[in-house]
Structure 1
Amino acid sequence: MELYKAAMVLGGVGDALGYRNSRWESCPSGVTILSELKALGGLEGITLSEDGWPVSDDTLMHIVTAQALVSDFWTLEDLYREMMKVYTETVAEINKRQPDPSTIEGCTQLKPDNYLLGWHTPFNKKGSGFGAATKAMCIGMRYWQPQKLDNLVGVSIECGRMTHNHPTGFLGSLCTALFASYAIQRKPLVEWGREMMKVLTVAETYCKKTIRHMAEYQENWFYFETKWQSYLEERGIAQQGQNTPRFPENFDAEKRDQVYKEWSSEGVGGRRGHDAPMIAYDALLSAGSNWTELCNHAMFHGGQSGATGSIAGCLYGLLFGMKNVPNGLYQNVEFRERLEELAAKLHKAANENEML
């Protein structure tokens, strides 16, 4: 239970830090951000609050996704209807927080009045953004058991393509949901990436069964897979038995910005569904239980730092709880009580003996 609470809250903390009311999220230089952080007194000198350090749309979408997952649904179709409802209801609020354009476009295409097909949105060639990945960790928290993998795959894909109907987008939601489940299972961190690669075939099978947009999916499917395979090989952990990640000798803020740009598809690290979870995962591999190092790698870089921070913070919470996190970062973070309440409900729902 405490790890669930830490995960939901630290997801918000990581988001608020990386976003910094859109100031740091739009800054192209991690060196500049770390310099400004030092002037603020470092992480110990910051007190997060709604006024000065609000969360972005990433945390709001994670909150309403969790809200749907703990609602009283009997079938997965009922769950998707609830997701569709909460997504359309939250558009006005997330519009105030510099949202991912794909999220807004996807939400406006949902049709809550259509009982049978309302969550089926058109294929979107621009729907490859990070927003599907940042709202899906709670899905892995809800369906963390290995025997519930089919539910995790189906729900994360449907949740992802409601707003980001492009493989690079919705495979990002599958990725972060899987990583959350692996954290709860206590699967060794170094195995997460290659285990996720195996599940991509399960995801492809699921998409074929739903018979929607398969021509477009096949044309765009392998980008996500290729990027992740390349990353795992770069870190030297692509094969079973390769359990020591290989990092550059000099991996300072300037070098990280360069590397993150190379992983991206448009020169902005963390902007897409493949590299937002990739940067968060890489930060965890590098930092371990060191919260400050995690922040340096995932929250303070010249890219989509709110997105990468929200994913990294949530996964850190599942692994380590509030360990090493200064009190000022989470005591008054925006929506803290709501995040903790949803965490308790997710924990209860995930561990009840039920079909869904």
Structure 2
Amino acid sequence: MAAPPPPDRYEAALLLAAAGDALGFRAGLWEYCTAGARIHEELRALGGLSSIELRPPEWPLSDDTVLHLATAEGLSSGLEGDALLQELARRYVAAMGDMEGRKPGPSSILGTSQLRPGEPQGYRIPFNPTGTGCGAAMRSLAIGLRYPRPEELPMLIRAWDYVEGEGVAVGDNAAAWDFFGDSWRRYLESRGLLEGGGPPRVPSLPTPEERDAEYVRWALGGWAGRSGHDAPMVALEALLAAGDSWEELCSRAVLHGGDNDSTGTIAAGCWGLRWGLSRVPPGMHRHLEYRQRLCDAAHRLHALAWGH
């Protein structure tokens, strides 16, 4: 088995996921900007990434990191099974008290309002036919950090087995199930990745305008990265194209015309796990809101996952 990553890679993963969120959000100014070129112009006026200090009030975390942190801290409790689900529900309800100015989405607001932590199955909420957002995708990095071993992978990807086994809105889920898989098959085929081979065929898309045009082709409702299927696509596309360049990763995954704090959270967190913090300007992470909580959760997750 491959050696586990060092604890500082877990720290980089959570810190840079938060950095991608804060950068893309910019207190709502960039999250709701539909033109990537305008965001890049404003970034140049600020002096570029190396001149930015990501700290509130100008650069607060959005709901994305606050709820991802609830996931990470719940998982780092060491609980399992029903007790873990109750703990996550409790933390999600508590986190919704910390949403002033953070712009949570309608599905997050509705879903957390339906949680009843402490009651039997109080973590279960009704099927939401309009719940097409990217919240679950954007908050799942911590799950992979907690259960990273190859033998744990089947536990993480048996969603349909869970739906059928628990009898959870089976008909509703079945009717909506194929959309995600079909969308990803088309994307992976277009990049030469459907069979797991390589190298990937990633178009260069050198300008913000070209990237916006490509990303919006995958989107629902014209808002690139907003949905659960296309937010990870934007993130993967950026990761494949950027290599070890933090600046290129941000240009492609964070600074585009769409739900860029969410795609930035996904992509930057994965990038941090792979490359660490050494290539990142210190201002991107040293003054982040809730920095210590993110670091503490990262180290607890690493200890639970790898037994150190």
- What's the TM-score, normalizing by structure 1? 0.82
Number of the residue aligned with 1:145: 149
Q: Determine helix, strand or coil for the equivalent of 1:84.
A: helix
**Cα distance between partner residues in 2 of 1:252 and 1:223:** 30
**Cα distance between partner residues in 2 of 1:72 and 1:254:** 45
Tell me which of 253, 259, 268 is aligned to 1:304.
259
Aligned residues of 2:74 and 2:88 also touching (Cα < 8 A): yes
Number of the residue aligned with 1:329: 284
**Cα distance between partner residues in 1 of 2:273 and 2:128:** 32
2:53 matched to 1:53?
no
Letter of the aligned partner of 2:150 in structure 1?
P
2:123 matched to 1:119?
yes
Residues 184-204 of structure 1: per-residue CA shift (max 9 Å, x gap): xxxxxxxxxxxxxxx4xx322
Tell me which of 129, 134, 145 is aligned to 1:130.
134
Structure with greater helix share of residues? 1
Tell me which of 14, 17, 25 is aligned to 1:11.
17
Letter of the aligned partner of 1:67 in structure 2?
E
Q: Cα distance, 1:96 vs. partner?
A: 3.2
Q: Flag structure 1 segments of 5+ consecutive residues without an equivalent.
A: 154-198
Number of the residue aligned with 1:228: 184
The correspondence of residues 93-104 of structure 1 with structure 2, limited to 5 A, is 93-104=98-109
RCO higher in structure (CA 8 A, sep ≥6): 2
Q: Which aligned runs of 4 or more in structure 1 are off by greater than 6 angstroms?
A: none
Alpha-carbon distance change, 26 to 78 in structure 1, aligned in 2, over 3 angstroms: same
Q: Determine helix, strand or coil for the equivalent of 1:16.
A: helix
Number of the residue aligned with 1:209: 165
Aligned residues of 1:100 and 1:130 also touching (Cα < 8 A): no
Tell me which of 277, 299, 324 is aligned to 2:232.
277
Q: Cα distance, 1:246 vs. partner?
A: 1.7
**Cα distance between partner residues in 1 of 2:133 and 2:111:** 11
Q: Determine helix, strand or coil for the equivalent of 1:90.
A: helix
Number of the residue aligned with 1:244: 199
Percent of aligned pairs with the same residue?
Answer: 40
2:61 matched to 1:106?
no
Tell me the C-alpha RMSD between the 2 structures: 1.4
Q: Cα distance, 1:250 vs. partner?
A: 4.2
Q: Cα distance, 1:51 vs. partner?
A: 1.7
Letter of the aligned partner of 1:10 in structure 2?
L
Letter of the aligned partner of 1:274 in structure 2?
H
Q: Determine helix, strand or coil for the equivalent of 1:221.
A: helix
Residues 284-305 of structure 1: per-residue CA shift (max 9 Å, x gap): 0000111100000000000000
2:37 matched to 1:31?
yes
Q: Cα distance, 1:237 vs. partner?
A: 1.6
Q: Cα distance, 1:120 vs. partner?
A: 1.3
Residues matched between the structures, number? 302
